[in-house]
């Protein structure tokens, strides 16, 4: 369910944990233990996530609250940068010792379900240990795969177009809900001609945006068991992208690479770029302009193809304490005080109670909340297609190969062939 989307997704996802890299591999809180039960009946569960030091501090505060409500459940924590998290998780899962509860994302549900790692939490819902009521905009279905509840959302986000507002004003462009791709491309020309910079960083290697474009046209990036588009579809997408770079509508990829990790928008190479709405706080911290959120262009003026994405909490099938794990997840997604501590660190709170409990005071988070509210009110949100096992590898390939195309290292035909070759291998494994 990352920013300068051309700080590529790998960097985006790692950015959440970059600070933590200096802290060593893990941090623990609460009484220790190995996931067992002590003589007085106290249970210890292990909770792991990826993220930076700030996220760790927030989560540890929420765990302190949990301990007050459930003094017989102690939580041992482990947080790391994104890539290190999955390396360690894979080792633990392969060894039959994954954490009891852990942060997860849509691209990994089928993968780890197929490996028999994930606990179906449906039985805990039936037992009353976990409530799936009160979620916003259908998010309660986000972690369901083949009738099994494999993840519970903790926050939401959706794709948006982040814009440099003064640049758009200077170009006379005012994007509104329902604008089309033709409107968007005309806007890119105005920004280039009137503001003197590329209109967009270039959306050609943003998998989640291409997914929306496909969904607008009756397809999707993924089906439940593979890719939902053809080589001809991708050839058309990447051919248009290359032409837009040549025409100066999209930013020069070499220049974008030179200013990383700064984004092309804050580096004043482009007037906007597509990314997840809750990543937008970085632009204010990086740049000196005023930034805002604009709606996704459409094919027909109505259908955006959008959905609310989410980080989730999943549980290990090997946990000795499924009830306690379920109670922990329930607390983390429903308790209003948790929302006040976490804010929008993991996206806009997934449940209405937590959404109502945290009222942002800064303009960036207010804009994020307003943007997601506008999507609900506009009625454009749809269910997401569950990603197949291997989706994470396909996403990384799309990002890397798309960037190579932009840098001139590959022709369109070669890029398309390489992507499909790598994806078919990943999806078949």
Residues 272, 294: Cα–Cα separation, whole Å? 9
All structural domains of the chain, each given as residue ranges with its CATH number in brackets, are 9-157+312-373 (3.40.190.10), 159-307+385-428 (3.40.190.10)
Entry pTM: 0.82
Tokens of 9: 């997704």
C-beta separation of 394 from 427 below 8 A: yes
pLDDT for res 285: 84
**Contacts (Cβ under 8 Å, ≥6 apart) of 52:** 15, 16, 17, 18, 19, 20
- The helix (H) or strand (E) run that includes residue 292 is strand 291-294
pLDDT for res 9: 40
Helix axis angle for 322-334 and 53-69, nearest 10°, is 110
Tokens of 151: 């993840």
SS3 259: coil
Beta bridge partners of 101: 47, 315
Beta bridge partners of 104: 312
Dihedral-angle region of residue 295 (phi above 0 means left; psi in -120 to 50 means alpha; beta otherwise): beta
pLDDT for res 14: 35
Counting every residue, how long is the chain? 429
pLDDT for res 36: 66
Residues 345, 49: Cα–Cα separation, whole Å? 13
C-beta separation of 73 from 325 below 8 A: no
How deeply is 42 buried, as exposed, middle or buried, from its count of CB atoms within 10 A (0-12, 13-18, 19+)? middle
Residues 203, 174: Cα–Cα separation, whole Å? 19
Helix axis angle for 391-406 and 207-216, nearest 10°, is 100
Residues 1, 346: Cα–Cα separation, whole Å? 11
* DSSP per-residue letters across 77-136: EEEE-HHHHHHHHHHHHHTT---SEEEE-GGGHHHHHHTT-B--THHHHHTTSS---SBS
pLDDT for res 211: 97
Cis bond upstream, residue 261 (ω within 30): yes
**Contacts (Cβ under 8 Å, ≥6 apart) of 192:** 198, 199, 247, 248, 249
**Contacts (Cβ under 8 Å, ≥6 apart) of 324:** 43, 45, 70, 73
Token match 């096992």: residue?
389
Residues 210, 400: Cα–Cα separation, whole Å? 15
pLDDT for res 4: 36
Residue 387 DSSP label: P
C-alpha 229: how far from chain center: 22
pLDDT for res 19: 32
Full pLDDT tens readout for the chain, 429 residues? 533 333 344 433 333 333 333 333 333 333 333 456 777 889 999 999 998 888 999 999 999 999 999 999 999 999 999 889 999 999 999 999 999 999 999 889 999 999 999 999 999 999 999 999 999 988 999 999 989 999 999 999 999 999 999 999 999 999 999 999 999 999 999 999 999 999 999 989 999 999 999 999 999 999 988 999 999 999 999 999 999 999 999 999 999 999 988 999 999 999 999 999 988 888 988 999 999 999 999 999 999 999 988 899 999 999 999 999 999 999 999 999 999 999 998 999 999 999 999 999 988 899 999 999 999 999 999 988 878 989 989 999 999 999 999 999 999 999 999 999 999 999 997
pLDDT for res 386: 77
Strands 159-164, 272-276: pairing is: antiparallel
Residues 61, 103: Cα–Cα separation, whole Å? 17
C-alpha 101: how far from chain center: 19
């Amino acid at each position: 369910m990352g920013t300068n989307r051309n700080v590529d997704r790998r960097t985006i996802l790692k950015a959440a944990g970059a600070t933590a890299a200096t802290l060593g591999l893990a941090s623990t809180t609460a009484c220790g233990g190995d996931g067992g039960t002590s003589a007085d009946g106290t249970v210890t569960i292990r909770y792991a996530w990826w993220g930076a030091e700030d996220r760790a501090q927030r989560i540890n505060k929420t765990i302190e609250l949990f301990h007050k409500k459930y003094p017989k459940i102690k939580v041992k924590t482990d947080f790391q940068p994104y890539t290190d998290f999955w390396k360690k998780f894979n080792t633990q899962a392969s060894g039959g010792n994954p954490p009891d509860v852990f942060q997860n994302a849509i691209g990994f549900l089928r993968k780890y379900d197929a490996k028999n790692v994930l606990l179906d939490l449906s039985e805990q819902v039936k037992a009353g240990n976990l409530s799936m009521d009160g979620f916003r905009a259908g998010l309660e279905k986000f972690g369901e795969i083949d009738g099994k509840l494999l993840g519970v959302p903790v926050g939401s986000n959706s794709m948006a177009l982040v814009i440099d507002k003064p640049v758009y004003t200077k170009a006379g462009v005012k994007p509104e809900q329902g604008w089309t791709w033709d409107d968007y491309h005309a806007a890119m020309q105005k920004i280039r001609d009137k503001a003197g910079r590329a209109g967009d960083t270039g959306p050609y290697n943003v998998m989640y945006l291409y997914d929306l474009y496909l969904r607008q046209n009756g397809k999707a990036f993924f089906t439940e068991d593979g890719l939902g588009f053809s080589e001809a579809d991708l050839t058309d997408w990447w051919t248009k992208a290359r032409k837009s770079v040549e025409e100066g509508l999209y930013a020069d990829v070499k220049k974008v690479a030179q200013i990383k990790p700064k984004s092309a928008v804050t580096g004043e190479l482009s007037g906007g770029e597509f990314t997840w709405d809750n990543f937008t706080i970085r632009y204010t911290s990086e740049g000196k302009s005023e930034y805002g959120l604009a709606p996704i262009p459409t094919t027909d003026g109505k259908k955006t193809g959008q959905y609310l994405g989410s980080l989730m909490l999943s549980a290990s099938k090997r946990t000795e304490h499924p009830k306690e794990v379920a109670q922990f997840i329930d607390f983390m997604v429903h308790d209003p005080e948790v929302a006040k501590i976490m804010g929008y660190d993991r996206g806009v709170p997934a449940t209405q109670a937590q959404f109502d409990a945290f009222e942002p005071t800064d303009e960036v988070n207010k804009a994020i909340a307003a943007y997601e509210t506008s999507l609900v009110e506009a009625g454009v949100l749809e269910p997401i297609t569950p990603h197949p096992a291997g989706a994470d590898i396909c996403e990384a390939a799309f990002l890397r190969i798309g960037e190579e195309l932009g840098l001139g290292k590959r022709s369109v035909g070669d890029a398309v062939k390489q992507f499909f070759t790598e994806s078919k291998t990943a999806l078949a494994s």
